[in-house]
Structure 1
Amino acid sequence: MNFIKLVLFSLCISIGYYALTIIAIGQSAAGNLLWWFNSSQYPTAMHLAQNFISIGLAAFIPTFVVRSYEPARQWIAITIMIVATMFLHGNIHYMPWDPMGIVRFINNTLFYGDIGAKAMFFYILLLPILWLLMFKRMVRI
């Protein structure tokens, strides 16, 4: 029963993480992040930096919730959250929980995407893990 609660908790957090990453991607695409330092010489690097900051902030909230409410099984919860978020990103124009969503997400971002899409894949995958490692380090200090 506890594992079922963990899966349901992680799925709920993943829906929130999905919504926050969609908002973060939209804000950085509109150029509303780092507007004071908007360099016209390097637009791709600027866009990647905006996505890194915005998805980093979006990853902070669900990682903090997982760390606070499931400290014993936080790695399992974060893994379920990341995979479910990738499912949802891959199923933007399809049924929400279609199993092919993860395949579509990986194909569209990692294999067939441009540099921004590949960076987006790694931001969505790695930033919650980095936040979790930072929270773990902050507790030890």
Structure 2
Amino acid sequence: MNFIKLIILSLCVGIAYFALSIAAIGQSAAGNVFWWFNLSGYPTITHLTQNFVGIGLVAFIPAFVIKSYEPSKQWLAVTVVVLATILLHGNMHYMPWDPMGIVRFIFSSLLSGDIGATAMFFYITLLPVLWLLILKRASRV
């Protein structure tokens, strides 16, 4: 029963992470993250840093929830969260739980995407893991 609770919690956190990351991407596209600091000569760098800050802040939430509620199986939980988020990002214009969403996300962002899409792939997949490592390190001190 604990495994089923872990999967349900991870899927719920993954859905929330998906929704919040979409909102962070939208804020970055609107230019509302660094409104006081805008490198007009380097729009790509500005956009990438806005996405990094936005998704970085959003990625703290699943890491904190997993660290708080599932400390013993945190790596399995964060894997399910990231896979659920990737699945939903890949199925943006398709049925929400189509398993091909993972393939679509990897192909459209990592394999055939530009620098922004490739960075988004790494932001979405690695920032929750990075926050979990930071929280794990902070709890030891």
Q: The TM-score by the shorter chain falls in which range?
A: over 0.9
Give the Å deviation of 1:62: 1.3
Gaps of 5+ in 2: none
Q: Within 1, Cα distance between the matches of 2:120 and 2:5?
A: 29
How many residue pairs get matched? 141
Q: How does 1:87-98 map to 2 (within 5 A)?
A: 87-98=87-98
Q: Within 1, Cα distance between the matches of 2:23 and 2:67?
A: 23
Identity among equivalent positions (%) equals 67
Q: Within 2, Cα distance between the matches of 1:6 and 1:93?
A: 28
AA in 2 matched with 1:113: G
AA in 2 matched with 1:61: I
Aligned match of 2:67: 67
Matched, 1:17 2:17: yes
Give the Å deviation of 1:139: 1.0
Q: Within 2, Cα distance between the matches of 1:110 and 1:72?
A: 31
Aligned match of 1:138: 138
Matched, 1:123 2:123: yes
Give the TM-score taking structure 2 as reference length: 0.99
Give the TM-score taking structure 1 as reference length: 0.99
Q: Within 1, Cα distance between the matches of 2:63 and 2:133?
A: 10
Aligned match of 1:43: 43
Once the two structures are superposed, residues 82-115 of structure 1 have per-residue CA deviations (whole angstroms, 9 ceiling, x without a partner) of 0010000000111000000000000000011110
Aligned match of 1:77: 77
Give the Å deviation of 1:41: 1.0
**Aligned-residue CA RMSD in angstroms?**
0.5
Displaced runs of 4+ in structure 1, greater than 4 A?
none
Residue 36 of structure 2 aligns to a residue in which SS? helix
Aligned match of 1:105: 105
Gaps of 5+ in 1: none
Give the Å deviation of 1:140: 1.5
